[in-house]
Amino acid sequence: MSMRGIVYLVGAGSGDPGLLTMRGAELLGRADVVIYDGLVNPSLLQLAKPNAEIICASKHDRLNRISQSELNALMVAKARAGKCVVRLKGGDPYTFGRGGEEAATLAQAGIAFEVVPGVSSVQAVPAYAGIPLTHRAYGSVVVIVSGHNPPDSPQNRVNWAQIAALQCTVVVLMGLKNLGQIASALVAHGMPANTPAAVISWGTTTKQQTVVGTLDCIAAKAAQAGLRPPCVTIIGGVVVLHEKLNWFEHRTLFGHRIVVVEPGGKSRAVAQALREAGADVIKIRVTRVAPTQQTKLDAAIRRLDTYDWILFSNPAAVEMFFNRFFELQNDLRKLGRIRLGTYGPVTAEKLRELRLEPDAVPTSHTLPLIIEALQSHGNICQQRILLLRGVGAQKPVPEALVRLGAKVDVVECFSMEPDLTDRTGEAAQFTRQGADWIIFCSSTDILHFHVRFNLPELIDRFQHMRIALTTPRIRWALEKLGLTAAVVGDPGDPEQFVSAIASRQVPTPPVKDKCRDENAPLYSGQLDAQSMSAFNQPTANQPIHSIQAKYISVGPGKNSTAPFSEQTANTTTPKSP
């Protein structure tokens, strides 16, 4: 927090979170307070630092409604308290966004402020609907107007007669309610009744809907289609290009709401690929990494020179180790000549973020490949290995290393705990509206998601919702809840994973396992180490599931030569390292 407060009026863009500017993202990460409009994409709030104060300033939410005067007073008060304030506004702050009024209030109060322009719906929404505002064949003049007041209203300040005479592209914001009167006024002042027109609802989002007509019928068509605000209306010859240039609404997964659970290192590539295919990706974090008692880790760090290897089980192990390492040593050279190994490529990427190139990286998170990667650097017999992992992790890797003659010290440097926070409100929205898909990347996330939402009950409530797994290694965790996945992917190929989801667009819910005792209680409630371990570790006494499940297997299997194929197979509970 700076001693002298400042307010940044930041344009968030018109709905697509990818339209936020780099400067806007930077300021969100620095802000002590974020005051956001109701139409701002809630996923942008994840860019704020964890201890930032998040305030909704919606003028349309009945529960959280705040007047403009109250909002102005709030910004001034927070800045006078020495806070760095980001006022996150939909679109562009200075284009029908009252940004000028808010800036004037700050200037009058002597508050320092800056304005960060945003991508306005004026440009973004027509572009996402395939309608260029200018085109040499159709017009080179653009007029932007507010349609908030009817043409015959005393508050109307728009000269509709002058606009009708210009033969230009007209962009009308906030005009859905008065669209019929606006169209009639333009025709009355000489604009041809057959002038092309389009109304775009919720532009640049996966709820985008475009209705095309002409001035004499566009209001009726918009009403018939049930369009709801926010809407942008385009009037002019450029509208005829919509059908040819409409790229956004034709993307493979356009209109699909997909929940990606725990959107961290494991699922970042999948989430990005889904967005590129047009999906509305909802990030819900259900697991948080917490440090454990650090006595053993501290002791290991102080005697690093006695080890030949550090083996990291996952990205959390990398983060926890180096956080503590720099607190105690503060010099990366203290690692000495020790070699670094990982359980898989995702963890390797975490090391590379620290400018450290790992020595042993298996192509997949499986026991034989982990051992092979280590042995590629020579015999590991008598090698001293510091293995960093989470509490309750399974034991195959250290046990296998010991059998090969290695001397292994296992340090459990973190625990995976349920995260019940909902800073962005997306989890609450999900419980109300559901989604088309839920994607899991780890068995821990399946458990914590179930603890928070009761997964089988959720599937019963939203029966069109399907489940996908990024790796077959975690299928057993889903089966414990009596569910199977519609898509099981290859963690190394997110694009094929997305293609498999796209091939299953016909709404079919995940299959419930009828073999399960319907009266058996499902795990829910407080987590402890014993129940966590029981869920995460298949044991010799645990019955192996053998379920006839129809699923899509991504990546070539032993019975498949295609990149991915739909097949019926017996699924068995795999034991993962």
Residues known to be catalytic:
37, 59
- Cα(348)–Cα(265) distance, integer angstroms: 11
Locus of tokens 């970042």: 268
Through-space distance between the first and last CA atoms of the chain, rounded to whole angstroms: 44
Q: Which residues contact 307 (CB under 8 A, 6 or more apart)?
A: 300, 338, 384, 385, 386, 409
d(CA 152, CA 156): 7
Q: Which two tokens stand for residue 43?
A: 């996923």
d(CA 32, CA 83): 6
Residue that is written with structure tokens 């699923």 in the block: 551
User: 505, 431 in Cβ contact below 8 A?
Assistant: no
Cα–Cα distance, 248 to 206 (Å, whole number): 9
DSSP code for 432: H
Task: Compute the distance between CA of residue 406 and CA of residue 379 in angstroms, rounded to an integer.
Answer: 9
What angle separates helix 99-108 from helix 68-80, to the nearest 10 degrees? 40
Which tokens is 301 given?
A: 């760090």
DSSP letters, 320-375, are HHHHHHHHHT--GGGGTT-EEEESSHHHHHHHHHTT---SB--SSS-HHHHHHHHH
Contacts of 443 (CB under 8 A, 6+ apart): 473, 474, 476, 477, 535, 536
Q: What angle do CA 337, 342, 344 make, to 5 degrees?
A: 150
DSSP code for 155: T
What residues are paired with 213 via a beta bridge? 197
